[in-house]
Structure 1
Amino acid sequence: MSPFHELETIDVAAWLERAANAQERFQIMYSVLRDRICMLVYPPGTQLTEEGLAAEFGVSRSPLRKALQILEADGLLQSQQGVGTIVSEVDLEELIQVYQLRMELNELAGKLSPSPATDTLKGLFEDMRKKAARLRETPTWEEFARLNIDFFHAFQQLSDNEPLRDVSEKLFTRPAGSG
């Protein structure tokens, strides 16, 4: 599950410093950047610079480059010669089609290797239900988007079918029109 609830207050450099190894540092950079794109901290069309991100994260550009390359392969970023790295644009018609496909895949979660709902997972869903009730009183798009992301990650835990989870994850974060 994505651990970012207050994106602007996270000290990514300190978090990276506490990472146990290079793979964990990569995963942190990748997750932070993906989350920022999905939460529109970096909206479509935003130019990202390796220099700025490396300075913020307290890393050299080399390990950061790997995270940016994977995000580009995921369709979230585009490298443009002479321009740099840009957050991908979204095609709303294709987004509708992706959403329809995601709905069909969600039904498969209960059919393909369903995993039992543990007490921990039930508690997580209950917490999200309470957040949704609070959102009805004071709605914000940021909190709705965060709840949607959290729900997706919790829902993913209801199936042990890894290929289904992988495809669902790619579609969840894929900007329509990019790939």
Structure 2
Amino acid sequence: MKPNMFNILRDRILYMEYQPGQILNENVLAQEFEVSRSPVRNVLNRLEWEQLVRIIPRTGSMVTEIEFNKIMHVFQVRFECEVLEIQLAANQLNDSHRIVLKTIKERCAALFDNKDRKALVAVDTDLRNMIHEAAGNPVLKEISDRLYAQTFRLWYGAMDKGDWNEEVSSMVEEIRKLSDLIPGRDTKAMGAFRRKVLTDHFDRMRRKFFTH
């Protein structure tokens, strides 16, 4: 089995190359990846555990729909995980991280009036990975990443709606504020900051989901 089959299929779902409701056929995937059906089935089972597909007997694996109410519940848990993680990271973040943040912010600012959804995702991923590393808790990282994946498609789709520069501006401001908070190493302030970032992020997605 190609070691990246899971990542390839997962990315196709997250970036909506496979549309919600689309049926994935084991035989077709086995032929594409030049493997037997068994490793394909293992990957699909893992994607079902990630709640990205739903296996339907005698039909195939269906890419899960984007259900706003379910995503809202996921966000409630994601809030708590990411607040805890940034609080764990607070005492480890230092001036070297601020230098990294400066570079990330510059990459993000370059996206004003330059719509590139995958580039903005890459900025967000680098920011999240920096926090993961500083927090140093692999279990929390695994949970956080799984919850992130379950909410990702709503955000990725919402980027195509409304004001693109609003998305860029919110991330630039998030990076700037995080950099400003690092010297104080105030876990409470870090937690409040992260909760507000996620709340604002969710509110933007909800507004775009229901008004466009």
User: When the two structures are superposed, what TM-score results if normalisation uses the length of structure 1?
Assistant: 0.69
Distance 1:92 1:137, change over 3 A: same
Match of 2:128 among 123, 130, 152: 152
Are the counterparts in 2 of residues 76 and 87 from structure 1 also a CA contact under 8 Å?
yes
**Offset at 1:58?**
2.3
| Higher share in helix | 2
Q: Which residue of structure 2 aligns with residue 91 of structure 1?
A: 67
> What is the CA–CA distance in structure 2 between the aligned matches of 1:124 and 1:146, rounded to whole Å?
14
Over the matched positions of the two proteins, sequence identity in percent amounts to: 28
Are the counterparts in 1 of residues 13 and 19 from structure 2 also a CA contact under 8 Å?
yes
Q: Which residue of structure 1 aligns with residue 80 of structure 2?
A: 104
Are the counterparts in 2 of residues 72 and 78 from structure 1 also a CA contact under 8 Å?
yes
Are the counterparts in 2 of residues 75 and 174 from structure 1 also a CA contact under 8 Å?
yes
> What is the CA–CA distance in structure 1 between the aligned matches of 2:8 and 2:151, rounded to whole Å?
17
> What is the CA–CA distance in structure 2 between the aligned matches of 1:172 and 1:59, rounded to whole Å?
30
How many residue pairs get aligned? The number is 152
Q: Which residue of structure 2 aligns with residue 48 of structure 1?
A: 24
1:74-153 equivalent positions in 2, closer than 5 A: 74-112=50-88, 116-117=92-93, 125-153=101-129
Q: Which residue of structure 2 aligns with residue 166 of structure 1?
A: 142
Distance 1:125 1:64, change over 3 A: farther
| Corresponding letter in the other structure for 2:87 | K
**Offset at 1:133?**
1.3
Distance 1:159 1:119, change over 3 A: same
Query: Which stretch shows the higher mean deviation, 112-121 or 48-57?
Result: 112-121
In angstroms, what is the RMSD of aligned CA positions?
2.9
| Corresponding letter in the other structure for 1:110 | I
Residue segments in structure 1 that go unaligned for 5+ positions in a row: 1-12, 17-24
User: When the two structures are superposed, what TM-score results if normalisation uses the length of structure 2?
Assistant: 0.59
Query: Which stretch shows the higher mean deviation, 123-132 or 163-172?
Result: 123-132
Are the counterparts in 1 of residues 22 and 63 from structure 2 also a CA contact under 8 Å?
yes
Residue segments in structure 2 that go unaligned for 5+ positions in a row: 153-212
Distance 1:35 1:69, change over 3 A: same
Greater Rg over alpha carbons, structure? 2
